[in-house]
């Protein structure tokens, strides 16, 4: 994700931080201090997992899970009985994944899962896959050059008729509606208030996360800036980079503003 220094925080979040004075500890959502909040929020949506499981069930061959992290998507793929390669750049998250695989000894997950520490923009695994996954809108981590490199690497790792499945978030807001506020309950039951500001010109959204219960001490407030990559843009990029997009499936609770989309692509004939 990106440095927030050049971007403006949502107005309401700025006002709240000013009211809290130095009671709030502000951290990046992806830092060590923000990790608990990230995991709490990321664990909530299961629609993407359900759709991926449904799609992958109908596709043959081993699965490559890119940006696998601690295995939110890897484990459901293993539960389908597939051989899975989980690739990520974070050694810490891969260690967590390995622990989770070991906990599933009864289902022999570790025996069917190769864990690879690598960059999704530049990897060479010496084998091909029936399915390459890039979930959780993780494509938004990459800039244009990074995405081109990713497409190249994915193309060279797909079996004939293999599928590249990737998700993204489509953001819709009329001019003047760049800011929004929503309350989300995390996996733990803890409620968070999210303030979002869409910096259209910059192609990013800035998100600030407060706990709803503001009396906590210390009060951890998390911030992040995430690239906005609409599905239309990714469809054109995929087409320019040698893929044919086969389907585009809406995921989860679609709101007027936030619409998650799963794209299914294959190497063009
Ligand atoms: C939003 S998390 C998603 C993790 C997991 N797929 C999930 O659903 O929970 C993004 C992941 O991308 C990984 N990542 C970031 N840049 C990467 C890169 N260039 N290559 C591989 N992994 C990367 C991070 O380490 C992190 O695990």
Each domain of the chain, given as residue ranges in start order, spans 11-41+172-227, 46-171+229-267
Of 27-31, 97-101, 220-224, 231-235, the least confident: 27-31
46-171+229-267 domain in CATH 3.40.50.150? yes
- Pocket perturbation via mutation, ligand 1, pick of 52, 135, 138 by most ligand atoms within 8 A of CB: 138
* Beta-sheet strand order (sheet of 204-211): 24-28, 219-227, 204-211, 191-199, 179-185
Closest ligand 1 atom to Cα of 42: 9
Distance from Cα 147 to the centre of ligand 1, integer Å: 14
What's the DSSP call for residue 126?
S
Residue range 76-91, pLDDT digits in tens: 999 999 999 999 999 9
The angle at the Cα of 191, spanning 11 to 207, to the nearest 5 degrees, equals 35
**How much is the pLDDT for 101?**
96
Q: Is ligand 1 within 6 A of the CB of residue 69?
A: yes
**CA 42/CA 38 separation, integer angstroms:** 6
For residue 204, the CA-to-ligand 1 centroid distance in Å is 18
91-133: pLDDT as tens digits: 988 999 999 999 998 888 999 999 999 999 999 999 999 999 9
β-pair partners for 171:
258
Measured in Å, residue 121 CA sits from the centre of ligand 1 at: 12
The response to whether residue 48 sits with its C-beta less than 6 Å from ligand 1 reads no
CA nearest to 162, candidates 183, 133, 137: 133
CA angle 65/57/92 to nearest 5° reads 20
Q: What is the number of residues in the chain?
A: 269
Q: What is the DSSP letter of 69?
A: T
pTM above 0.85, yes or no: yes
CB of 73 closer than 6 A to ligand 1?
A: yes
* Residue 121 CA, closest ligand 1 atom number: 19
């Amino acid at each position: 994700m990106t440095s927030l220094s050049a971007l403006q925080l949502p107005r309401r979040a700025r006002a709240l931080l000013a009211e809290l004075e130095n009671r709030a500890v502000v951290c990046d959502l992806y830092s060590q201090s923000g990790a608990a909040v990230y995991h709490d929020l990321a664990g909530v949506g299961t629609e993407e997992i359900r759709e991926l499981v449904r799609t992958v069930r109908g596709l043959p061959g081993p699965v490559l899970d890119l940006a696998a992290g601690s295995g939110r998507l890897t484990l459901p793929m293993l539960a389908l009985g597939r051989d899975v390669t989980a690739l990520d750049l974070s050694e810490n998250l891969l260690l967590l994944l390995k622990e989770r695989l070991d906990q599933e000894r009864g289902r022999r997950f570790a025996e069917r899962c190769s864990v690879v520490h690598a960059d999704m923009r530049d990897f060479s695994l010496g084998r091909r896959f029936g399915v390459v996954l890039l979930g959780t809108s993780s494509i938004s981590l990459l800039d244009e050059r990074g995405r081109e490199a990713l497409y190249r690497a994915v193309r060279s790792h797909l079996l004939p008729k293999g599928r590249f499945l990737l998700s993204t978030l489509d953001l819709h807001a009329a001019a003047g509606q760049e800011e929004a506020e929503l309350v989300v309950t995390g996996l733990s039951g803890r409620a968070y208030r999210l303030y979002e500001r869409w910096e259209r010109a910059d192609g990013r959204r800035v998100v600030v996360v407060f706990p709803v219960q503001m009396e906590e001490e210390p009060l951890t407030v998390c911030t992040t800036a995430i690239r906005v990559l609409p599905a239309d843009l990714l469809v054109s990029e995929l087409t320019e980079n040698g893929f044919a997009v086969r389907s585009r499936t809406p995921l989860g609770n679609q709101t007027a503003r936030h619409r998650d989309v799963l794209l299914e692509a294959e190497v063009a004939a």
